[in-house]
Amino acid sequence: MRALVLLCLATAALTAASPARAAEPVVVEDEAGDSGEAPDIVHVEVTRASGAVVFAVRFSGSPTLARDVQLVTILLDADRDETTGPDGTELAIRADAGGARLEAWQDALWQEVPGAAVRSSYAADVLTVTVGRAALEGSRAFEFVVAASEGDLDLEGTVDYAPDVEPASFALPGIARVIAEVGAARAGRRLTAAVAVVLSDGSREPPTTLVCTARLRGLVLARSGRCAWRLPASASGAMLVVTVAATWEGATARPVTRRVRVR
């Protein structure tokens, strides 16, 4: 786990130094035919969705993943702290063809988290598991291992792990910059600002939260929409100052300011 932590630190440093980062999804390939009696994982992809993370686990040999017979466990080190949970993993998603549940390591036991936002589906040899970021305790970066087992992972039996040795890493991108385009400012007219965030992986997304403020001659204007205002007829010639504070999936951008002269 120490090597893993060092790797994580190195990755964090790289992310801080460069706006470019590895493109999604995170992919783990696993050998076919190495699983014994357990379901045989051959490919894992982890991607982000709005407010959630999606694991797609592909198998060879079309296992049934029947309940209480074949189980897929996604072990997560969501706090990236090797002292929390066995081998650092304090969350476990257990899934089979019947559904999925989240368990947390508490009082030295795996205990189900009631009402956790976890769901799964199994079709065409791909088990798709979606977990809400809230269920991941808001984690923006985690280590993971997928284990397919015949019966309970924690009991005797055969297991196929992906990756086989060290856990894999997944991280949501940060915000590289905020795009705030302020429309034409005309006295007596409505003004809107269009806001998007550009992520460190180059993709462009709408903000998760957005606070827009406009000041005219030092006074805050009442909003007429999330990022819209009606300019007073007396505003002609004044400088309008629009400030935008945006977040995306738990990442906070520095507020940006736009100044436009009202015509």
User: Ramachandran region of residue 84, left (φ > 0), alpha (ψ -120 to 50) or beta?
Assistant: beta
Among 29, 37, 81, 181, binds Ca ion (CB under 5 A): 81
244 contact partners, CB below 8 Å, separation of at least 6: 178, 180, 193, 195, 210, 211, 212, 213, 227, 255, 256, 257, 258
Q: Rounded CA gap, 263 and 259, in Å?
A: 13
In the complex, the smallest distance separating the C-beta of residue 18 from Ca ion, rounded to whole angstroms, is 27
84 near Ca ion, rule: CB under 5 A:
yes
If the CB atoms of residues 32 and 228 are measured against Ca ion, the closer one turns out to be 32
99 contact partners, CB below 8 Å, separation of at least 6: 119, 120
Counted residue by residue, the chain has a size of: 263
In the complex, the smallest distance separating the C-beta of residue 78 from Ca ion, rounded to whole angstroms, is 7
Tell which positions 144-183 bind Ca ion, by CB under 5 A. Answer: 160
Among 57, 70, 72, 88, binds Ca ion (CB under 5 A): 88
Among 4, 40, 173, 235, binds Ca ion (CB under 5 A): 40
63 near Ca ion, rule: CB under 5 A:
no
Among 28, 30, 63, 214, binds Ca ion (CB under 5 A): 30
In the complex, the smallest distance separating the C-beta of residue 127 from Ca ion, rounded to whole angstroms, is 14
Q: Are 118 and 135 in contact (CB under 8 A)?
A: yes
In the complex, the smallest distance separating the C-beta of residue 142 from Ca ion, rounded to whole angstroms, is 9
34 near Ca ion, rule: CB under 5 A:
yes
Q: Count of residues binding Ca ion (CB under 5 A)?
A: 13
In the complex, the smallest distance separating the C-beta of residue 82 from Ca ion, rounded to whole angstroms, is 6
Q: Rounded CA gap, 11 and 15, in Å?
A: 6
Q: Which residues pair with 128 in a beta bridge?
A: 56, 121
| Helix or strand (DSSP H, E) at 10 | helix 2-17
> Footprint of Ca ion on this chain (CB under 5 A)?
30, 34-35, 40-41, 77, 79, 81, 84-85, 88, 90, 160
